[in-house]
Amino acid sequence: VKERPEDRSRIMRAVKGHDTSAELLVRKIVKRLGYRRFGVNRRDLPGSPDLVFSRKRAVIFVHGCFWHGHRCKRGNRVPKQNRTYWIGKIARNKARDKVTRAALRLAGWDVLVIWECGLKRPSVINESIRNFLTKSSAPRDSSSRNGRRARREFSA
Ligand SMILES: [Zn+2]
């Protein structure tokens, strides 16, 4: 029996946290801002960023507050059962996120993290995405050698 695409996407959601409602909402905001060409969950980049703007060399992560250890109400809510396990698990996630962001920046990518709790205020998210993507299209300074090289390659 061939698996139906909707089954697959449901499984993906459950397993990897892909295509969560938060991600879908951010994609919608991005499209409404006029950006229609972007990749999603690019596995060839560190951390499989949720949204990838190759030409701008910019990526957006949409982070769930619990899994990624946000310092907010939801992020601070650690389950009472297996408390030690969860604290360790989330600390590892946070450490991995940090390494991922550093790796991307080293490779000349601009990184924006959007927290799930922030989506309760869409206008704020709207504004930070707009600022981020506008800034990412500006010419790069000497702070990002890799980014400059990539830009040259692109324009060649
Ligand atoms: Zn949060």
Chain segment 96-130, per-residue pLDDT in tens: 999 999 999 999 999 999 999 999 998 999 999 99
Q: What is the pTM of this model?
A: 0.76
Task: Give the helix ranges, DSSP H, for 117-156.
Answer: 122-136, 145-155
pLDDT at residue 12, rounded to an integer: 46
Name the token pair of 146. Answer: 């890799």
C-alpha 3 to ligand 1 mean position (Å): 35
User: pLDDT of 2-52, one tens digit each?
Assistant: 555 555 555 444 445 567 889 999 999 999 999 988 998 888 999 999 999
C-alpha 108 to ligand 1 mean position (Å): 27
pLDDT at residue 155, rounded to an integer: 34
- The protein residues having their C-beta less than 5 angstroms from ligand 1 (an ion) are 65, 70, 72, 75, 115, 117
pLDDT at residue 86, rounded to an integer: 94
Burial of 25 (0-12, 13-18, 19+ CB in 10 A): middle
